[in-house]
Amino acid sequence: MMFDLSGMTALVTGASGGLGSAISKALSAQGARLAVSGCNAGKLDGFRAELGGDHVALPCNLSDAAAVDQLVPQAVEALGGKLDILVNNAGVTRDNLLMRMKDEEFADVIQINLEAAFRLMRAAAKPMMRARFGRIISITSVVGLTGNPGQANYVASKAGLVGLTKAVAQELASRGVTVNTIAPGFMTSAMTEALNDQQREAIPVEDPARRDGQRRGHRRRRPSISPAARRAMSRAQTLHVNGGMVMP
């Protein structure tokens, strides 16, 4: 199903990365005007130029709580006074076994993957509730459901994001704001390409069709993130995009 997003505005974090760029391109193709955000200003500017149009780039370090709190107000101002869609896509990994994991490795992942999403949801809820319309979408992960050795911090952040989403969805539903998650399986992206063979083999459940996911649709029907992002705007749910890797 296609959605006409003409006249709507969106903020996408982690926009210049693999999944973030695909989601941003999909929203732009549907007519939305975007504020794209990321921590690498140069890369972000290049991606904004690639998108064309009158989209804006808003660099932000999601480990800086004060900067995160300002991101939504900056997006609202840059996008003409409103924000219709928030996509919490940015995320990091600091993989290590439990007995070797440092405090900062755990804290960094929780701060960027979970706390920043909470802060952005809280800020976005204000203009969305006033408008009595909004769509908040957060990218979680299949490992938030299954677990994964060596990723206790990442798994905790993604599982926490699912719980956060369920609570916020119930709070905002009566004001016309839907809050959803998309839980990708093993998607081809810079983050997964950085995994070594041992980490890949540790992924607990295989896709029965033995296919890696991708960021956009493909004629061979590999699981794709962009259609899921569009669909998540229509109802409250968690969409599992893993090709049958996990069947919740």
Give the separation between CA 225 and CA 189, rounded to whole angstroms. Answer: 11
Across 226-236, b (16+ Cβ under 10 Å) vs e yields bbbbbbbbeeb
Neighbouring residues of 131: CB distance < 8 A, sequence distance ≥ 6: 82, 84, 176
Calpha distance 200→216 (Å, rounded): 22
Closest CA to 72 of 31, 23, 45, 37: 37
**Is residue 103 annotated as part of the catalytic site, yes or no?**
no
Whether the CA torsion 86, 173, 111, 77 is positive or negative: it is positive
**What are 196's two structure tokens?**
């070594």
∠ Cα 75 228 25 (to 5°): 50
Q: Which of 135, 154, 158, 229 is catalytic?
A: 154
Task: Measure the CA–CA gap between 23 and 81, rounded to whole angstroms.
Answer: 22
Just list the catalytic residues.
Answer: 154
